Structure 1
Amino acid sequence: MTVIHSAANPQYKVLRLLAQDSTAWRRQGRIWLEGDHLCRAALQRGVQPQLAVYSESCRSDLRLPAAQELVLADVLFRSLSGLESPAAMGFVIGIPEALPVDPRAPTVVLDRLQDAGNVGAVLRSAGAFGFRQVIALKGTAALWSPKVVRAGMGAHFGLRLFDAAGPDSLDTLQLPLLATSSHAGHWLHAAELPWPCAWVFGHEGQGVSPEVATRAALAVRIVQPGGEESLNVAAAAAICLHASAAGNAA
């Protein structure tokens, strides 16, 4: 066990960068998980940490053999944390092994979604409604960035994930692509939804790009009797993915 009390410690500096910089995970080849819930979710999916990090006052029972265990002074952990209420523990894990796209897996495609909270929320809905694969096209918030990982609440570990993919990656899918729109297409509640399928959700302001939309077999929109201009993309994704799941279960 290593105990660190100085912010000048090189190991602490590298760890803080990993926890706070949205691109450091790529440079370091490692991912930061903060909090008991995320760490347990990783363990339940068979992920083993490279490094376990605790604050000195941490009382979690989630202590286990790791490649290395690090204890930080409470003030250092608070400075490291990206949460308003620091969770007092975290894991560093390796980047999951890159796998090929499964052409027949129910899939969610993220087309340049910018907000990390939206991306994480869509991952949670994907996992909840039986979509096993998520393809994030270039321009989407990085799937393994700290904010997206926190927003995903553990959904990452049950999904097959592809980050910064090109639109041509969609051509490997052997299932229909369904595109969402705020103003055109079939009404979702009346549409015949194929299963399995791939749903694509687009940029918060611009929607699905023309390049991706041309690949879609069906465009759908959600009825909004309240008259709002559009739904938040994470809310729209939850509605669409639930509709697919419900139709498949019927």
Structure 2
Amino acid sequence: MTDAPVSHISSRDNAWLKTLRRLAQDSTAYRKLGQVWIEGDHLCRALLARGHRPEVAVFSAAVWARAGHEWTGCAPRILVVADELFVHLSGLESAAGMGFVLPLPSSPPVDPRMATVVLDRLQDAGNVGAILRCAAAFGFGQVLALKGTSAIWSPKVLRAGMGAHFGLRLVESATREQVKALQVPILATSSHHGEYLHRSRLPWPCAWVFGHEGQGVGEELAALARARVRIIQPGGEESLNVATAAAICLHASAAAHGS
């Protein structure tokens, strides 16, 4: 790859800087702008490792001076932002000093036979990102995020996903009809009803449905499920965090499939 042209930004009124601030600070700006902001060395390398390339690479002046030679061919355009301005782009406690802008991926068609995770109105960005990471780790290659779920390409979900986004089929604003069209068995989690997970014969492939942090899986989606499944909790807690429950369920499916 040849070296990309480098533009230096030192004015807070720069048009590119205004766009970057919107992408970094507004969790749904990516839908309006058609672009996604990812921040930090780990996420940027994860994107490149999956064979994707950003539209623009953005560096603080300090990081560019120190490590720019490593990244000269990573994007067709490079922006170097004054350190005091880059700080206002960062969503991290300690600014990472670099990020990528990439085109918003289009939602792919649903693969009806793929092992799938369905997110039903999850509100917390950290939970959504953690579940995406679990889905990727345990072989669930497709995620259907129903309307009302935290914006899956927002900076907070991307940070929590730790690069999982780039290896998954992500369908945002999915519908009940798309879930209904799945041709794999659907399993719905429940806090108090259904068969215990450790006693269940788990099908593969399958689709796991994880619901709203307070309300759980909606009744319309639960009605599509072959079974409701719960996790034994001998310690007596009322319920588990949904990301924790997802990790347990998805691992159990992967273990049953691999045994």
TM-score band w.r.t. shorter chain? over 0.9
* Deviation at residue 11 of structure 1 after TM alignment: 1.4
1:232 matched to 2:237? The reply is no
CA distance in 2, matches of 1:21, 1:65: 26
CA distance in 2, matches of 1:47, 1:15: 20
Matched-pair contact (CA < 8 Å) for 1:50–1:67: yes
Corresponding letter in the other structure for 2:249: C
Q: In structure 2, what is the equivalent of residue 107 of structure 1?
A: 116
1:94-129 deviations in Å (ceiling 9; x for gaps): 112432100100000000000000000000000000
CA distance in 2, matches of 1:183, 1:207: 11
Q: In structure 2, what is the equivalent of residue 3 of structure 1?
A: 8
From 40, 45, 54, give the equivalent of 1:40: 45
Matched-pair contact (CA < 8 Å) for 2:55–2:103: yes
Q: Secondary structure at the match of 2:252?
A: helix
Q: Percent identity?
A: 64
Q: In structure 1, what is the equivalent of residue 98 of structure 2?
A: 89
Corresponding letter in the other structure for 1:154: G
Corresponding letter in the other structure for 1:93: L
From 183, 205, 209, give the equivalent of 1:196: 205
CA distance in 2, matches of 1:64, 1:26: 28
Q: Secondary structure at the match of 1:135?
A: strand
Bigger drift between 43-52 and 65-74 goes to: 65-74
Bigger drift between 116-125 and 159-168 goes to: 159-168
* Deviation at residue 14 of structure 1 after TM alignment: 1.0
CA distance in 2, matches of 1:133, 1:62: 31
Q: Secondary structure at the match of 2:62?
A: coil
1:112-171 deviations in Å (ceiling 9; x for gaps): 000000000000000000000000000000111111111100000110000011111112
From 5, 13, 16, give the equivalent of 2:21: 16
Bigger drift between 181-190 and 58-67 goes to: 58-67
CA distance in 2, matches of 1:65, 1:193: 43
- Aligned-residue Cα RMSD (Å) equals 0.9
Matched-pair contact (CA < 8 Å) for 1:142–1:164: no
Matched-pair contact (CA < 8 Å) for 1:126–1:132: yes
* Deviation at residue 65 of structure 1 after TM alignment: 4.2
* Deviation at residue 91 of structure 1 after TM alignment: 0.4
1:68 matched to 2:74? The reply is no
Q: Secondary structure at the match of 1:57?
A: helix
CA distance in 2, matches of 1:3, 1:131: 42
* Deviation at residue 62 of structure 1 after TM alignment: 3.5
Q: Secondary structure at the match of 2:38?
A: strand
Q: How many residues align?
A: 250
CA distance in 2, matches of 1:155, 1:99: 16
Corresponding letter in the other structure for 1:197: C
* Deviation at residue 202 of structure 1 after TM alignment: 0.2
1:27 matched to 2:36? The reply is no
Bigger drift between 31-40 and 92-101 goes to: 92-101
Gaps of 5+ in 2: 1-5
CA distance in 1, matches of 2:98, 2:180: 41
CA distance in 1, matches of 2:98, 2:134: 26
**TM-score after normalising by structure 1:** 0.98
1:53 matched to 2:58? The reply is yes
1:128 matched to 2:133? The reply is no
